[in-house]
Chain A
Amino acid sequence: QVTLKESGPVLVKPTETLTLTCTVSGFSLSNARMGVSWIRQPPGKALEWLAHIFSNDEKSYSTSLKSRLTISKDTSKSQVVLTMTNMDPVDTATYYCARIRRELWFDHFDYWGQGTLVTVSS
């Protein structure tokens, strides 16, 4: 049974750094053509892809947020960590981690965590 669970602070102050952890079970972060993505959704708004990391340590970041994001994984702990620097109230959102499967001509997110709401406020 594949599960993903996000953890991290519910409240951060402007300019602080957000650190979120995704703990996975039911699959290994070393499985080929699999990885973990972070996706966020501001209240009442659309989904936004942020970053992903694959088993071969290939990483990719949203172009608009690249300078603020870092993604890493600890395969032995089955965890993927996302850090986002210089948080702003506009970054208030539910943050999801999801398993990404990569095929030649498509990706898909087949399992999602429940999401964690992060509020940015002083």
Chain B
Amino acid sequence: SSELTQDPAVSVALGQTVRITCQGDSLRSYYASWYQQKPGQAPVLVIYGKNNRPSGIPDRFSGSSSGNTASLTITGAQAEDEADYYCNSRDSSGNHNVFGGGTKLTVL
């Protein structure tokens, strides 16, 4: 399968922990990467590989994977974390990339 499935919307209270998930057969073979996108801006890489954060990404962002599911966890969500989040991975063939449908995170 070449599809990655994400919940369309998730909400979290300020300061609480939220997990955003991404499901797909290819995730049994490949790690996901995660991107944060705020309105009118280009996506920004927040997590890649097993659980790597680019320079400048706060350590409240973390990633994990189990079976066909990859997860992005935000521990102590802040107002500025409100955004759309996309997962990406190679497809099962390993030759193409595919994005999930995105999750809109609301911080209450």
Contact = CB atoms under 8 A, between A and B. Distances in A.
A5 to B, nearest CB: 11
A108 B42 contact: no
Interface residues of A, number: 25
Interface residues of B, number: 27
A113 interface: yes
Contact of B99 (A47, A112, A114): A47
B12 interface: no
A107 B34 CA distance: 11
B33 A62 contact: no
B31 A46 contact: no
Given A106-B30, A110-B54, A46 B42 contact: no
Binding site of A, secondary structure by majority: helix, strand, loop or mixed? strand
Interface string B80-108: 00000010111000011111111000000
Contacts of B89: 106-107
B2 interface: yes
B33 A107 contact: yes
B33 A108 contact: yes
List the 5 shortest-distance A-B pairs measured between CB atoms, nearest first.
A108-B48, A106-B31, A108-B33, A49-B97, A112-B42
